[in-house]
Amino acid sequence: MTETTFSRVRRTLSDLFSLSPDAITVDTTQKDIEAWDSMGHLMFIEALEQEFETQFSPENVEAMRDLGTIVRLLGAP
Amino acid sequence: MEAGLPSRDTIEAHLAKGEYGVGRGMLAALFESKPTLATAQYVTDRFLRSSAPRTPLKVAILRSYTVEPMVPLLRARAALLGLDLSVHVGEFGAYNQELLDASGALSEFAPDVVVVAVLTDSAIPDVWRRATELGPEALVQHVDEALAQVERCLGRLRERSKAHVILHTLDRPMWLAAGLLDEQSPSGQVALVQRYNDGLRRIARGIRGVYVLDFEGVAAAHGRARFYDPKKALTMGMPLAHDALLPLADAHMRIIAPIAGKSAKVLVLDLDNTLWGGVVGEDGVFGVKIGSDYPGAGYQELQRAAVDLSRRGILLAIASKNNPADAEEVFAKRKEMVLRLDHFAAVQIHWNDKATSLRAIAAELNVGIDALAFVDDNPVERQRIELELPDVHVISLPTDPIGYAAAVRSAPVFERLTLSSEDKDRSKIYVEQRQRSELEKGAASVEDYYRSLQMVATISAVGPGNLARVAQLTQKTNQFNLTTRRYSDQEIELWAAREDARVFCLSVRDRFGDSGLVGVAIVSRTGGEAEIDSLLLSCRVIGRTVETAMLAHIVAWARDAGVRWLQGSFIPTKKNAPASDFYARHGFARVETSPDGDVQLFRLDVREADVRRPEWIVMEEG
């Protein structure tokens, strides 16, 4: 069973902020989620780096404010 | 999903059925396989929504840097131990003001635990940045002033809060400013950081409830090169790398668990493939693997860990499915064994299931089931216990025995913050008790058993050396206690000072060991009458007839003092039934019972009394 990048991002986000995965789509942005504030952003970036075993550049960290961009930066699948 | 791991659906199904022990074991395995922030949050959410009992605990983290990514990991580890952690994180770099401020957010939060997480660049900035520029005196003064500030802040916190405090030690810089020359200078960066850490430990020893977390040791153990992330330090104020977060969270749990009382009192060990490699029933006594080479060394190392824990006051027990004779032979004949049977306070070796064994061990040692930690190589046995006895601390072992000892040594439930002399002796006392029971089983009659014990009872007066113990016995003894009157140190001192009263202290030793001061009687005298105010016996020596020896001594004293009538009351409680027939079986007559039956009064005619020391007890006066 291979999970898509989107579904891994969604699970990371829903686990981290205790959200229902159903409420999260590829269009979800930082503004839609209350807990995703500036500290929340740092935590989410940490969590994504752990999930995908990668490190983001400071420029990408700035840009990763919506799920579409995050999935694109992480690359398919 | 990784092989062998339970799915989230499986975990949630167990939790929904109320099987929180199994759910906890599975969540722990899930977290272990992928200890990320997201998994941590999932584990915490799910477990705290289950029916498992939990204790709330408020932890404030005062800090000089971004500690937030560690918090979910800490909460997950705590949740799996039955702690519901609320965490308050202080403002960046404001730790000193927050400790001093009696009316700020910290005071409002009313923490149970305060963590002060500060890195070297904040705590002693001149050592970090100007070590080659400033002179030795200035640098030493800088360190000492920083320590004085810590002490002042903690003093102020103590004026308004009983919170436990955890202070982080400082780590040395990765690259020393003076390079190799640092070692040659008494005011090098390494020496100055050491000076600060020594000072911190001195402060912690001086203030009750203050503990040191060896941050430097954690960084060293996991490797400085992997511990820090210099780029994130600059871009996000987050100097710790991913790899640092879990070790640091675990280091906190090792202090927080004993603070919150999440402690195991007994380590229950399996035998085959846990204490030695192989199965003794199949491989034979000389076929099982134990020794100094692989894999025997892994088992030997676990045995050493168990011995170390027993010196911390943790009792050892065996729960094994085996023929007792086979197992005992390994202990007797294999010289490579570090543990001997007399290290164990309780032994359950038979073919019944292990839940039965664990219940029997808890009952025999008189502890709650949640005071047991269970170590078994077999995941099926572990899960059976998680299912049937969900409050037992089940410790997972890795598949390779080389990792067994570390799995046990790293468990927070075995950490102790202080060690009393009673803790150090506890193991010995229980082991002696087990040897007595075995002797009793083998004795032809109970009198033979008493004789074989070779008991010596010593009666002494109360004094500065035993006053605290006497008071403690009046406060803690419930079973063999005739009146259950509780006395403080000061009240015992008053009894001891009275001309018309005597405090008799009874110590007992036998062939197995010294039980220490285990009995107290307080008697007052008015003319020809004496009144036994209190008479009690520690449960350590119940059933060995020493109460008769003590009473014989009191009666002899009364006779010498010209007392005609010796009076005593029995005040029934929920727990003191073992003492209910004490007066009747020593020839006292019941003279009165209060209308509600709350107090029964007995009386002995000293002139006609025949209370004798049992012939198997030697009496001494101390």
* ipTM value for the complex: 0.94
Q: At what angle do helices B215-222 and B242-259 cross, to 10 degrees?
A: 140
Q: ∠ CA(B181), CA(B182), CA(B185), 5° rounding?
A: 95
First to last CA, chain B: 70
Q: Is residue B87 predicted with pLDDT exceeding 80? A: yes
d(CA B338, CA B14): 39
Average of pLDDT values for B281-299?
Answer: 96
pLDDT value for A1: 52
How far is the CA of A18 from the CAs of A12, A35, A42, B27, in angstroms?
10, 9, 16, 16
For the segment B6-34, the average pLDDT, to the nearest whole number, is: 96
Look at B388 and B438; give whichever has higher pLDDT: B388
**A50 closest CB neighbour out of B36, B66, B236:** B36
Does the pLDDT value for residue B29 go beyond 80?
A: yes
Find where tokens 């153990």 sit. Answer: B221
Percentage of chain B surpassing pLDDT 90?
85
- The angle, 0 to 180 degrees and rounded to 10, between the axes of the packed helices A5-16 and A67-74 is 130
Q: What confidence score (pLDDT) does residue B401 get?
A: 97
**Can you tell me the distance from the alpha carbon of B550 to that of B537, in angstroms, rounded to the nearest whole number?**
10
pLDDT value at residue B2: 41
**Residue with structure tokens 């009144």?**
B531
B91 in A contact zone (CB under 8 Å): no
User: Does residue B559 surpass a pLDDT of 80?
Assistant: yes
Q: How far is B36 from chain A (nearest CA, A)?
A: 6
More confident residue, B622 or B341: B341
Confidence band for A77, pLDDT divided at 50, 70 and 90? low
B242 touches chain A (CB under 8 A): yes
**With bands split at pLDDT 50, 70 and 90, how would you rate the model's confidence at A9?**
very high
| Residues B572-595, mean pLDDT to the nearest whole number | 91
> Is A45:A16 a contact under the CB 8 Å cutoff?
no
For residue range B309-364, what is the model confidence (pLDDT) as tens digits? 999 999 999 999 999 999 999 999 999 999 999 999 999 999 999 999 999 999 99
- CA angle (B17 as vertex; B372, B55 as ends), nearest 5: 45
Question: Do B394 and B382 contact (CB within 8 A), yes or no?
Answer: yes
Query: Is 60 exceeded by the pLDDT of residue A51?
Result: yes
- How many other C-beta atoms are found inside a 10 Å radius of the C-beta of residue B614? 18
> Which residues of A are less than 8 Å from B9 in CB distance?
none
Judge residue B123's burial from the number of C-beta atoms within 10 Å of its C-beta, 0-12 exposed, 13-18 middle, 19 or more buried. buried
State yes or no: pLDDT of B284 exceeds 50.
Answer: yes
Mean pLDDT across chain B: 94
B120-174 confidence digits (pLDDT tens):
999 999 999 999 999 999 999 999 999 999 999 999 999 999 999 999 999 999 9
The predicted-structure confidence for B219-253, as pLDDT tens digits, reads as follows 999 999 999 999 999 988 899 999 999 999 999 99
CB B242 within 8 A of CB B366: no
| Dist CA B277 CA B198 (whole Å) | 43
Establish if B238 touches chain A: CB-CB under 8 angstroms: yes
- Cβ burial of B366 (10 Å; 0-12, 13-18, 19+) is exposed
Question: CA of B25 to nearest chain A CA: how many angstroms apart?
Answer: 19
Between B275 and B4, the more confident residue is B275
Measure the CA–CA gap between B308 and B311, rounded to whole angstroms.
Answer: 5
Q: How do residues B511-522 score in pLDDT, each as one tens digit?
A: 988 888 999 999
Under an 8 A CB cutoff, do A11 and B38 touch? Answer: yes
Q: Which whole-number Å values give the CA distances from A76 to A5, A6, A15, A22, A25, in the listed order?
A: 6, 9, 22, 21, 16
Which amino acid is located at B422 in the chain? E
Q: What is the pTM of this model?
A: 0.81
Phi and psi (nearest 5°) for B26? -70, -40
Tell which residue, B501, B493, B450, B498, has the closest CA to residue B474: B493
Band of the pLDDT at B375, cuts 50, 70, 90? very high
pLDDT at position A76 is: 66
DSSP designation for A70: H
In 3D space, the residue among B311, B227, B237 whose CA is nearest the CA of residue B267 turns out to be B311
Predicted local distance difference test score (pLDDT) of residue B209: 92
Q: Is B3 a residue whose pLDDT tops 80?
A: no
Mean pLDDT is lowest, of A34-43, B28-37, B431-440, B605-614, for B431-440
- Cα B67 to Cα B88: distance, rounded to the nearest angstrom: 11
CA–CA distance from B166 to each of B117, B163, B208, B212, B256 (Å)?
8, 10, 12, 6, 9
pLDDT tier, B1 (very low <50, low <70, confident <90, very high otherwise): very low
In A, which residues are within 8 Å of B242 by CB distance?
Answer: 46, 49-50
Q: What is the pLDDT of residues B91-115, one digit of tens each?
A: 999 999 999 998 899 999 999 999 9
Q: Do B161 and B108 contact (CB within 8 A), yes or no? A: no
DSSP state at residue B588: P
Nearest to B36 among A39, A45, A51 (CB): A51
Res. B429 pLDDT band, cuts 50 70 90: confident
What chain A residue is nearest to B72 in terms of C-alpha separation? A16
User: Measured between CB atoms, does B42 come within 8 Å of chain A?
Assistant: yes
d(CA B622, CA B613): 17
Is B68 near chain A, with CB under 8 Å? yes
> Residue B208: what pLDDT?
87
- Chain A: give the shortest CA distance to residue B245, in Å: 11
